[in-house]
Structure formats: C-alpha cells, structure tokens
Amino acid sequence: MPNFMIAYHGGDEPGSKKEGAAQLEKWKAWVKGLGDRVVNPGTPLTNSTLVTSTQVAQDDDPNAMKGFAVVEADSIEAAVEIAQSDPFLANGGIICVSEMMEMK
C-alpha cells in the first residue's frame, strides 16, 4: 500500500495555552482513530530556510509548510479523505496530500 504525505501549511496559532492543549487533544484523537494507517503521526517544522542556486533566505511566508504526517492508503482519494478529517483544517490551515514515491 502506498504512503502519502499530509503537508500542513499556514493555520492559526492557538490564542492561549488552554486553546493549544485543546487542539493537541483533538490531534491525538485523530491520530489514534487512524490506527495502523499512520506511518508517521506528525513532525512539526520550524525555522525554514529557502535555498536556491543564487540565494538563501528565511521562509517568512505565513502559508509555509508547518509540518507533515505520513499515512498509508489505497489511493490518493483515500488519503484525501483522511486529510479531510484532520483537525488542522479547523485552525484555518491548508493541507497538501502527495503520494510518496519509493526509491530503490
């Protein structure tokens, strides 16, 4: 079964510690509900730097990638259904779902 990356972009920061804790609990419940389909439950990303052949710059885009998770699914459509249930969307975030090609 192929793996799919669920990439998190943008989203609103919690307004308080209590709100952050509530969001974390929703995320934990979502991950638990996915069961064996979870390959990597989530990796937050901070301090991103953009690198090109001519420059290096801090990625200050508010819609920059904030983290990712990896799930197993039968198809891109099934992976999209998983992403549509992700509580990150309720925080104003955007999710990009990509099939991961296995390199051998």
Please tell me the predicted confidence (pLDDT) of residue 7: 97
Domain annotation for the chain: domains and CATH numbers: 3-99 (3.30.70.1060)
Comparing CA positions, the residue from 23, 1, 4 lying closest to residue 12 is 23
Q: Find the distance separating the first CA and the last CA of the chain, reported in whole Å.
A: 16
Comparing CA positions, the residue from 8, 48, 3 lying closest to residue 27 is 8
pLDDT classification of 104: cutoffs 50, 70, 90: confident
Between residues 80 and 13, which one has the greater pLDDT? 80
* Contact (Cβ atoms closer than 8 angstroms) between residue 63 and residue 10: yes
pLDDT classification of 16: cutoffs 50, 70, 90: very high
Comparing CA positions, the residue from 35, 89, 87, 77 lying closest to residue 97 is 77
**Contacting residues for 30 by C-beta, under 8 A, at least 6 apart:** 85, 86, 87
pTM: predicted TM-score of the whole model, two decimal places: 0.89
